[in-house]
Amino acid sequence: MPKYTANITFKGLKENRIYEVGEEFEMTEDRAKELIANIKKDHGVTVVFTPVEEDTDPTEEVATEDEPIEEPDFTTYKVQELKDYLDSVDIEYDSKATKAELIKLAEG
């Protein structure tokens, strides 16, 4: 989840002033938008949330509408590769399981 900082612009003063709060916290983009709307409605101020850190987990693939995540073709895996994969995602299997059974488990 990305971290955000808040910048608050006070509207309606002699001149618009920007105060950088500088407090970092983690929240979703939807939650940030909800907070912005509530603060503006309740206090008459404009809040701008600026992402300060990308959520870049190299092990996590994120799908977009243009680019779906491609599932691996487990039929091309060797038995040991299937077992290694299942171990890496904490899926239990019988030590005497066949390749077909391991593929079924891997495909979820």
Residue-wise pLDDT tens for the chain (108 aa)? 566 666 555 555 445 555 555 555 566 777 777 777 777 777 676 666 666 555 555 555 555 566 666 777 888 889 998 898 888 888 899 988 999 999 999 887
CA pair distance 8, 96, nearest whole angstrom: 62
Interhelix angle 79-88/99-107, nearest 10 degrees: 30
What number of other Cβ atoms are within 10 A of residue 108's Cβ? 7
Closest CA to 25 of 60, 50, 47: 50
CA pair distance 62, 85, nearest whole angstrom: 19
